[in-house]
Amino acid sequence: TATCVPCGSALGATWDPDLVARIGGVVGAEARAKGARVLLAPTVNTHRSPLAGRNFECYSEDPLLAGTLAAAYVRGAQAQGVATTVKHLVGNDAEHERYTISSDIDERALREIYLRPFEIAVREGGSLGLMTSYNRVNGRWCTEQPELVGGTLRGEWGFEGIIASDYGGGHE
């Protein structure tokens, strides 16, 4: 058995970080009670197309709202002694050919829209993990972009946690 909680987009519609933190705490406590120590959540991808099949998992099309709610969820879950893995970094907003597609995103949009929820989850929430996406960004696999992983995540944000690829998302 498991506790049933609203999906990410329903939680996003509440605009309530305190509620999302409490839900993160409930999910974290339940995971810990079942012997799990890591959650593959929350999902903070930006709703850019109604055809993205996993939009229901994500909080919002607004990067500030998505990041704020993700940080709240992270704090609630990790207060229970369970690590979170914020996903799917980055530009994962299509289901069609999601294992091979390239999301072509200019630098400003990448930082202000796509990376912003992840940054808030790391800096304000203290997430212990991030998961990269299957897709490419600007022609290169997300898992194979040292300027993103080493430069932005580790360098600029000071992220010291685990960076995992999505299952089968590594290519070299």
**14 and 23 in contact (C-beta within 8 Å)?**
no
Q: Which of 1, 98, 111, 93 is nearest to 43 (CA)?
A: 93
Rounded Cα distance, 69 and 20, in Å: 6
- Active-site residue, from 62, 93, 106, 166: 166
Q: Angle CA(74)–CA(158)–CA(109) in degrees, nearest 5? A: 80
DSSP letter for 166, please: P
Q: Which of 33, 17, 51 is nearest to 42 (CA)?
A: 17
Does the annotation mark 166 as catalytic? yes
**Which residues contact residue 27 at a Cβ distance below 8 angstroms, ignoring those fewer than 6 apart?**
3, 5, 39, 41, 76, 77
DSSP letter for 67, please: H
Residues designated as active site: 166
